[in-house]
Chains A and B, each alone.
Chain A
């Protein structure tokens, strides 16, 4: 890999772009209006074209102004079509932004045939070319795109920090916000303006399609990692910037694996953002798939352990210890509870390791510790049967499955509550003795 200052500028420009987009993007996601980002990023095109036609220049400020106006108009038009035409909101958005985008495309082809504001650039951007157009900034040659995106990122950052409280309340509860004198409508249009301006700044670098990836994907990834608003915003910026860096490296490295020359940096950045999202989806702490699977497995194992203890307790109770052989227990587990062979074996090993069960010459015995655990479980089981028999209209043979499911989740307080409510029952509905309460910790 051949890294030059040229590549550093590309990464920096992309990272600034992602950071600038991530801030308004997070609020779009939280307001459940991600598609509005899509709509605005397309609909600003006629604003750009009109600004260009009127002034004949590609001066940034004119473009920003034109884009901001059309961005807010998009939000307004969508609302009008939605309300007045009684068209569903997403359909209204579809009507408005495609019409505006097409209009912009037509204007562009007519007016700007010979300048570099061409439709291809509008769609995909030209991040690779960014370092070629550099300005002197405090003695260093800095790409114009990096300067512009840096400025937009800073402005967005300052606005989000300054209006943090107002953005939070108007996003969470717009009605209350308005009654408190923080008009939610005004903040809505403010945010739309921010999205429009950011989109225009990002336009030249990443194009109108990939800018959506920068608005939405890092914010959606961050949302999977935390339940705090400020952290969501911070993580969205960091993940966005990380995706940009990863994307550029990927654009250089990955194609060479397959014998191709390097590929579109902006495209690879969006792919990297998608990969980061997938990673967050898998590994997120609370919502992540991996943590959910681990939790499930842990639960299944605990249930299997408790079922084995319960089984041994009942065998002991019946004086039927001949059957408490390891092989027998496994087959009993399968027939009685339906536990799989592997899970049963792991659970059994686990119980021996924890000193709940001993295995001597092929026979399983509860240790005092194991017997105490088993007592709790059987107590839960039989109390639950008593409870269900009292409150549900169920035949007696239907009690067992319900108790078999619920027994693993009853706390000490719940057991006592059932017991107190049923006037300290001695036997369950089938006549089996209910183990008495002890000074169990919980």
Chain B
């Protein structure tokens, strides 16, 4: 029965893809919903080899995640994530602490290993499309006492373009300075980064992502611990990016501002609870499902897998 539902959903997805490409996201999310209960998670992926080939994913999607499971020490922290990002949208990733939001981004970027699954960027594996993806890590992930200036940090966004063993030339420093001005930080270019406030540091990170000139941006809590002015500046830049056809996935914590900031939302708690246009998906019911405690069975299964205990019954 699950299998037929699943097939129905993916048939549906393909037909929509032809008729109305922009709505394929919503349908894709309903496919996720179908499998969102823990009983179907493994059943669905095991049941249909055709789906395992991933052919239902549109090749033009900026980011397609196909049946990705991420585990630390064999203990799954993210289960069977299946997701297609619609192009040119701001997508909020929302969920409680420990839901696997950062892990999702890091697994896409191959910073943590995937237990299974596949990620494509515009139809090709991430490794071949690195240049198209920009990453804004959590602000706390780096040492802000490091002896570099704000401009130095932003210029790091150009290193992939510069290539190995070549110095950062004037051209790239100018690009970095332009990105700093875009976030309103041109006056702070020569400051040592420890002398910047939290909001200013976050803007430097954002400028570094801008200078990468990527098509897909993955941002880990860009709004965490920033002042009101910075929050506004970031929102403005996100809107600019969207208007330029860029796709942004951002981990977000403040539920109140989700409908205001994001067109689409992915509700995450060890699995995708729901995803789609904010107005459809960001409902009280879905939020309750996301935040109302973890799925006990999922946790038990994860623990059993971590310990390597098979259930013989």
A84 (CB) vs chain B CBs: closest residue: B73
- CB-CB under 8 A from A180, the residues of chain B are 130, 156, 159-160, 212
Residues of B within 8 A of A30 (CB): 143, 146-147
Tell me whether B159 and A172 are in contact (CB under 8 A): no
List B contacts of A172 (CB < 8 A): 142-143, 146, 148, 153, 156
User: Is B257 on the interface with A (CB-CB < 8 A)?
Assistant: no
- Alpha-carbon distance between A86 and B141 when the two chains are bound, in angstroms: 21
Closest-by-CB residue of A relative to B127 is A181
Could you say which residues of chain B place their CB within 8 Å of the CB of A32? 143
Q: What separation, in Å, do the CA atoms of A231 and B192 have in the docked complex?
A: 13
Cβ contacts under 8 Å, B111 to chain A: 175, 178-179
Contact present for B156 and A169 (CB under 8 Å): yes
User: Is A123 among interface residues, defined by CB-CB distance under 8 A?
Assistant: no
Interface residues as binary, A109-132 with B (CB distance below 8 Å gives 1, 0 otherwise): 000000000000000000000000
Q: A179 with B133: in contact, given A165-B162, A166-B164 (CB under 8 Å)?
A: yes
The answer, yes or no, to whether B109 is at the interface (CB within 8 Å) is yes
B152 sits at the interface (CB 8 A):
yes
Q: Name B156's closest neighbour in chain A (CB-CB).
A: A169
- Flag if B135 contacts A176 (CB, 8 Å): yes
Contact B148 A162 (CB under 8 A): no
Query: Which residues of B are found within 8 Å of A169, using beta-carbon distances?
Result: 156, 159
List B contacts of A179 (CB < 8 A).
109, 111, 130, 133, 135
Question: For A176, what are the chain B residues with a Cβ–Cβ distance below 8 Å?
Answer: 135, 137, 156, 208
Q: Please tell me if the beta carbons of A181 and B160 are within 8 angstroms of each other in the complex.
A: yes
Q: Nearest chain-A residue to B135 (Cβ)?
A: A179
Size category, B interface:
20 to 34
Bound form: Cα–Cα A181–B133 in Å: 11
Of A163, A166, A181, chain B has the most CB atoms within 10 Å of the CB of: A181
Question: In the complex, which of the residues A163, A175, A223, A229 contacts B148, with contact meaning CB atoms closer than 8 Å?
Answer: A229
SS of A interface (majority): helix
- B-side contacts of A391, CB under 8 Å: none
Interface residues contributed by chain A, number (CB under 8 Å): 27
Return A357 CB to nearest CB of chain B, in Å.
36
Q: Is the CB of B135 within 8 A of A227?
A: no
- Whether the Cβ atoms of B147 and A228 lie closer than 8 Å is yes
Tell me if B168 counts as interface (CB < 8 A to partner A): yes
A74 contacts partner chain B, Cβ-Cβ < 8 Å: no
Alpha-carbon distance A168/B162, docked complex (angstroms): 14
> Is A80's CB within 8 Å of the partner chain B?
no
Q: How far is the CB of A441 from chain B (nearest CB, A)?
A: 21
Q: Mark B133-161, 1 if CB is under 8 A from A, else 0.
A: 10101000111001111001100100110
Q: How far is the CB of B144 from chain A (nearest CB, A)?
A: 10
**B165 interface residue per 8 A CB criterion:** yes
A29 to B208 alpha-carbon distance, docked (Å): 25
Are A168 and B148 touching (Cβ within 8 A)?
Answer: yes
| Residue on B nearest A168 in the bound complex, by CB | B148
What B residues does A232 contact at CB under 8 A?
Answer: 147
Q: Which of A60-119 contact B (CB under 8 A)?
A: none
Q: A30-B146, A30-B147, A178-B111 are in contact. Are A162 and B165 (CB under 8 A)?
A: yes
**Mask of A223-237 contacts with B, CB within 8 angstroms, 1/0:** 100111101100000
A223/B141 in contact, CB under 8 A: no
Q: What's the Cα separation between A166 and B163 when bound, in Å?
A: 10
Report the separation of the CA atoms of residues A228 and B149 in the bound assembly, to the nearest whole angstrom: 8
Give the chain B neighbours of A165 by CB distance below 8 A.
Answer: 159, 162, 166-168
- Bound together, the chains give a CA A333 to CA B135 distance in angstroms of 57
Q: Bound state CA distance, A178 and B142, in angstroms? A: 14
For residues 252 through 269 of chain B, which have their beta carbon under 8 Å from a beta carbon of chain A? none
Roughly how many angstroms separate A202 CA and B309 CA in the complex, as a whole number?
51
Q: Report the minimum CB–CB distance from A38 to chain B (whole Å).
A: 20
Chain B CB within 8 A of A182 CB: yes
A231→B141 CA distance, assembly (Å): 25
Q: Is the CB of B137 within 8 A of A175?
A: yes
Q: Which residues of the partner chain B approach A164 to less than 8 Å between Cβ atoms?
A: 167
Contact A181 B130 (CB under 8 A): yes
CB-based contact B159/A226 at 8 Å: no
Q: Does A171 contact B (CB under 8 A)?
A: yes
Minimal beta-carbon separation of B62 from chain A (angstroms):
16
Q: Which residues in B have their C-beta under 8 angstroms from that of A228?
A: 147, 149
Is B106 on the interface with A (CB-CB < 8 A)?
yes
Closest Cβ of chain B: how far from A91's Cβ, in Å? 19
Cβ contacts under 8 Å, A168 to chain B? 148, 152, 156
In the complex, are the beta carbons of A227 and B147 less than 8 A apart? yes
A232 to B143, CA, bound (A): 16
User: How far, in angstroms, from A30 to B145 measured CA to CA in the complex?
Assistant: 9
Tell me the nearest residue of chain B to A163, going by C-beta: B165
Residue ID in chain B nearest A161 by CB atoms? B167
**Complex CA–CA separation, A229 to B143 (angstroms):** 14
In the complex, which residue of chain A has the Cβ closest to the Cβ of B209? A176
Interface assignment of A173: CB less than 8 Å from any CB of chain B: yes
> Which of chain A's residues have a CB closer than 8 A to the CB of B194?
227
Find the A residue at minimum CB distance from B155: A165
Residues of A within 8 A of B (CB): 30, 32, 162-166, 168-169, 171-173, 175-182, 223, 226-229, 231-232
The 7 A-B residue pairs whose C-beta atoms are closest, nearest first, are: A227-B192, A180-B160, A179-B135, A172-B146, A229-B147, A173-B142, A169-B156
29 pairs, A vs B, C-beta closer than 8 Å: A30-B143, A30-B147, A32-B143, A165-B159, A168-B152, A171-B146, A172-B148, A173-B142, A173-B156, A175-B106, A175-B137, A175-B141, A176-B135, A176-B208, A177-B156, A177-B159, A178-B111, A179-B111, A180-B156, A180-B159, A181-B130, A182-B160, A226-B147, A227-B192, A228-B149, A229-B146, A229-B147, A229-B148, A229-B152
- Beyond the given A169-B159, A228-B147, could you list 5 further A-B residue pairs with CB under 8 A, ordered by the A residue number? A176-B156, A177-B159, A180-B130, A180-B156, A181-B160
